[in-house]
Amino acid sequence: MVKLLRINMKKRQYKFEDLKPEYTMLAGRALTGKIMLDEVEPTCNPLESKNKIIFANGLFVGSTFPCPGRLSIGAKSPLTGGIKESNVGGLAATRMSHLGLRAIALEEAPEEKDLFVLVISKGKVEFIKASELKGLGNYETVAKLMERWGDKIATLSIGPAGEMLLAAASIAASDLAGRPSRHAGRGGLGAVLGSKKVKALVLLRPEEPEQEPVNNLEEFNKIMREFIKILIPKKKALTIYGTAGLIGITNEIGGLPTKNFRFGCFDKAAEIGGERLYNIIVSRHGKPTESCLPGCVIRCSNVYVDQAGHYITSGLEYETIALNGSNLLIGDLDKIAQIDYTCDNIGVDSIEMGNAMAIAMEAGLVEWGDADGVLELLREIGEGTIKGRLIASGSTTAGKVLGVTRVPQCKGQGFAAYDPRVFKALAVTYATSPMGADHTSGPAIAGRTGWDPQKNYGELTDSEGKVELSRELQIMISICDAFGFCYFVGPDRGVMEVVVKALKAKFNLDFSFEKLVQYGKKILQNEYEFNARAGVVQSNRLPSFFYEETLPPTNKKLDFKPDQLQKVIDFVKSP
């Protein structure tokens, strides 16, 4: 039976518990949210001892379901003040399942200032003081951990930003090559881990890895073989160009954030797009396609190298490229790759940094398009300067301190790389998600539909049908996050029907699509309830300039009324 591992950092004690009966079918985001609602005082300071940070894998982890090794990390967010689930690939979720764990909950905080590494093996946790790791970046930290515990470990670590408890701090998960390049970036959960005085978790590989049983393994694998055979050809463009392929598409439809969301097109978009990225990587003998987690069949990640073939970064993706490229008027992939590496090493969310750097440019701290100025300001985060700490506190705080009112944010969290005046359903997601401006909560990109294959959800840039589309995607994404598979597999009706079949084969459950919808709604209901208890105001509005300014070249603007958006929440909260 899978266990919940509780680790009390104040007492330096641990306990392996059987899951409560009501937790048996909860995993990933469903489990982190439920534990948060049941056990965390919603009004607590996110960086105080009463907050908890929970790591949970999904119900399909370790199985032949495609891309099943995502990890959900949950806590009260220092960035939004509400509940947060940040989702990441890498090896950690799969390694947890090898150790027989559904979740790890870190509780309380030490009174002393020592940093710790938690070494987790089968049935055991060691608390190792790690003062020698203080101030180190994620890459050097993980290299030292591998020197001591071997290169087969899975790690979760923080950089200097997390140690300094800065609100945009991320948690790095090691990938299949051992690089700390996969980041749970959103929500500042690296600061919560830092508040527990934990520099890293080291997950050792047991001699006999566990595997959750499947009731009808032959049927489960048959379903997956048929599904994957259909899935792989559908994702061919994503495999070749990765998420960076969205740069050209988003630019063409006029929704690419440019100069702090002033424009929807960038004149150097071709220089930072997917085809250009692919050609550079291939010409330099990097890796244009790579899996970020065990069981990935899409392989949309990459390894970006310099002209001499030396590693710069891994997983150079659309969000990072757009928000640190076009949004800052930087049109050089080499510079953007260095920015990505620096964010990963220092341990800050590259999405939040793209927004915060735009605020710095608005205030005149850095010139528009000055990539070296951005890199210098990022390095200041690692050095702990006042300017560095300000930027790593996130775009909302930076805007308040620097007197900049043009801040694309919701619930204190900076926007992802889709202008909501063009991506109308994402505007709904930003405004109504309990997570704040998080595109992964309901990623209504071009071509994506809801759960009704017969329904016309309207043209991408029109408001018609977008309330329904967003709420359906938010529910389906919560299911992806709970079951632990990458949402690139698809938050759509066809994939949800495969999930229903897989549940029946694995657990011998009489499930249905309607029951699955209720499962997803319950996840969101718990999150809304936590936020309500925490005093997080659900305003259903985005910053005023999105309503007042038309976006060149499409000349679109937002036209949703708060009562329209309230329909998303009313539907989620309905029985």
Angle (CA) 158 47 381, round 5°: 45
**Tens of each residue's pLDDT in the chain, 575 residues:** 799 999 999 999 999 999 999 999 999 999 999 999 999 999 999 999 999 999 999 999 999 999 999 999 999 999 999 999 999 999 999 999 999 999 999 999 998 889 999 999 999 999 999 999 999 999 999 999 999 999 999 999 999 999 999 999 999 999 999 999 999 999 999 999 999 999 999 999 999 999 889 999 999 999 999 999 999 999 999 999 999 999 999 999 999 999 999 999 999 999 999 999 999 999 999 999 999 999 999 999 999 999 999 999 999 999 999 999 999 999 999 999 999 999 999 999 999 999 999 999 999 999 999 999 999 999 999 999 999 999 999 999 999 999 999 999 999 999 999 999 999 999 999 999 999 999 999 999 998 999 998 999 999 999 999 999 999 999 999 999 999 999 999 999 999 999 999 999 999 998 999 999 999 999 999 999 999 999 998 889 999 999 999 999 999 999 999 899 999 999 999 98
The tokens describing 170, both together, are: 């991320």
Q: Which numeric CATH code is attached to 3-203?
A: 3.60.9.10
Cα gap 543→363, rounded to integer Å:
18
CATH class entry, domain 427-573: mainly alpha
Q: What's the one-letter identity of residue 211?
A: Q
In the chain, the N- to C-terminal Cα span, in Å, equals 31
440: its two tokens: 């992964």
pLDDT at residue number 575: 87
- Domain 239-414, CATH 3.30.450.40 — does that match? no
Rounded Cα distance between 139 and 72, Å, is 22
CB-neighbour burial class of residue 18 (10 A; exposed 0-12, middle 13-18, buried 19+): exposed
Quick one: pLDDT at residue 3? 97
Listed by start position, the domains of the chain span: 3-203, 239-414, 427-573
- Angle between helices 333-346 and 138-149 in degrees, nearest 10: 60
CB-based burial, 406-431: b 16+ in 10 Å, e otherwise: ebbbbbbbbbbbbbbbbbbbbbbbbb
Helix 513-534 with 493-507: angle, nearest 10 deg: 100
pTM: 0.98
